[in-house]
Amino acid sequence: MAGFKTLDDLSDIAGKVALVRVDLNLPMKDGSASDVTRVEAVRPTILELCERGAKVVLLAHFGRPKGQRHSTLSTSFVQGDVERVLDKEIMFIPEVSGPVVEQAIGILRPGDIGLMDNVRFWPGEEANDAEFAAGIAAHGDFYVNDAFSAAHRAHATTEGLAHQLPAYAGRAMEKELKALDSALGNPEPPVAAVVGGAKVSTKLAVLENLVGKVQHLIIGGGMANTFLAARGVDVGKSLCEHDLTETANSIMDKADHAGCTVHLPYDVVVAKEFEANPPSLRTCNVHEVAEDEMILDIGPMAVEALADVLKTCRTLVWNGPLGAFETEPFDAATAAFAHTAAALTQEGSLISVAGGGDTVAALAHAGVAQDVTYISTAGGAFLEWMEGKELPGVAALA
Ligand code: ADP
Ligand code: MG
């Protein structure tokens, strides 16, 4: 992992102005946040800087205003939620540069917090305009990026500012980068990767990257159907991308050459209707799926075999549920595998890192979200990292 500076590299920051990029793009319901996980994630960074006497000025985007002021997309809408989580008052600053900002920062005392308005109100943000970034940078002494979830975007406050001011990773960013590095950057082998979810087409780049890096590639979810079809299995009415069977075969060939074992299920859970506990529910061998049936989960024998594989591994990286986990009982394989991963992690034999919107939900549903090594809630940034891409916001910190 490329070296980056952290808050440990900062000294004598009392009275200095910290420009801190955070993710406050909170899901809203009836005028307040329905989930404050993102605020909780950046709390340690903000409070540490306050305790060390810095004036902390927060930068964030909120929704997609497309370079214009938008009355419903001001970051002032989340001010109250952030104040509640931090248990501190915040001064709202309705600009990102200029005399208003200068005046506001003049009023802040060491340990106080300011919140600038939505950085995406200005077209320079998404254009990563250097002049725009310089205008913001003029108000700060140093820059802290604690928004890994926005690091796949090369925007002024996620990337540009790092070239204008001394740049540091915040505590949440530091934790995320260390976890990701231990999972794929510099992992302890053998490494197992699980790729599940709905479609192969959304995760081709992930699969291509993983086959060269891991010893075991476990394919589940709807994606497994496409791989099974590529191997000549009749998958009936299952979700399957028949136009991608050649691609699936080429991925399996690449895996072979790289010494990566691809694991596909040999038994599956099928039904004729996609509903909870359907009357037609049954478990069968992959070769026995009828033409009017859908594969909705991998089967218990497959899960047992995967547990045995996992027991031989030191590292697990996981994106995508193994079945249609939102509908019972098609959550069974995902839940069972999650429990195995959690138990091995708790015993200390496995480092387990998982990410992806539905994967996070599936682990929470299985009740083991606290028992894996790290869960990334970063969505797009997590997937791009699994694709092996360099994230501009991270690269700029090096
Ligand atoms: P993530 O958000 O973690 O990256 P995806 O969005 O790729 O995951 O995939 C999650 C979705 O895949 C879930 O909604 C789940 O119901 C669906 N899914 C998993 N297995 C199947 C299957 N066999 N048939 C249909 N849908 C499936
Ligand atoms: Mg998803």
How confident is the prediction along the chain (398 residues), in pLDDT tens digits per residue?
558 999 999 999 999 999 999 999 999 998 889 999 999 999 999 999 999 999 999 999 999 999 999 999 999 999 999 999 999 999 999 999 999 999 999 999 999 999 999 999 999 999 999 999 999 999 999 999 999 999 999 999 999 999 999 999 999 999 999 999 999 999 999 999 999 999 889 999 999 999 999 999 999 999 999 999 999 999 999 999 999 999 999 999 999 999 999 999 999 999 999 999 999 999 999 999 999 999 999 999 999 999 999 999 999 999 999 999 999 999 999 999 999 999 999 999 999 999 999 999 999 999 999 999 999 989 899 999 999 999 999 999 99
Nearest ligand for residue 320 CA = 1
221 HSE (CA, 13 A, CB side): 26
* Superfamily of domain 7-171 in the CATH hierarchy: Phosphoglycerate kinase, N-terminal domain (3.40.50.1260)
Quote the CA–CA distance of 343 and 338 in Å, as a whole number: 9
239 lines ligand 1 (CB under 6 A): yes
Q: Say yes or no: CB of residue 185 within 6 Å of ligand 1.
A: no
Ligand 1 centroid vs 362 CA: distance in angstroms? 10
Q: Which residue has the tokens 């990102």?
A: 96
Copy the structure tokens of residue 102.
């200068």
Ligand 1, residue 220: give the atom nearest the CA: 20
Q: Considering only CA atoms, which residue is closest to atom 15 of ligand 1?
A: 324
Q: Are 62 and 24 in contact (CB under 8 A)?
A: yes
38 is catalytic: yes
Contacts of 366 (CB under 8 A, 6+ apart): 331, 334, 335, 338, 339
| CATH-assigned architecture of domain 187-386 | 3-Layer(aba) Sandwich (3.40)
Tell me if 319 CB under 6 Å of ligand 1: yes
Same fold, 7-171 and 187-386: yes
Distance CA 384, CA 225 (A): 24
Tell how many helices (H) and how many strands (E) occur in the chain.
Answer: 14, 17
Q: What are phi and psi of 100, to 5 degrees?
A: -60, -45
Q: In angstroms, rounded to a whole number, what is the distance separating the alpha carbons of residues 398 and 167?
A: 9
- Tell me the three state secondary structure of residue 355: strand
Domain locations in the chain?
7-171, 187-386
Task: Decide: 59 and 22 in contact? Cβ < 8 Å.
Answer: yes
Is any ligand 1 atom within 6 A of the Cβ of residue 379?
no
Q: Which residue's CA is the closest to the ligand 1 atom numbered 7?
A: 197
Asked if 199 is an active-site residue, the reply is yes
Q: Give just the sign of the alpha carbon dihedral 161, 162, 168, 173.
A: positive
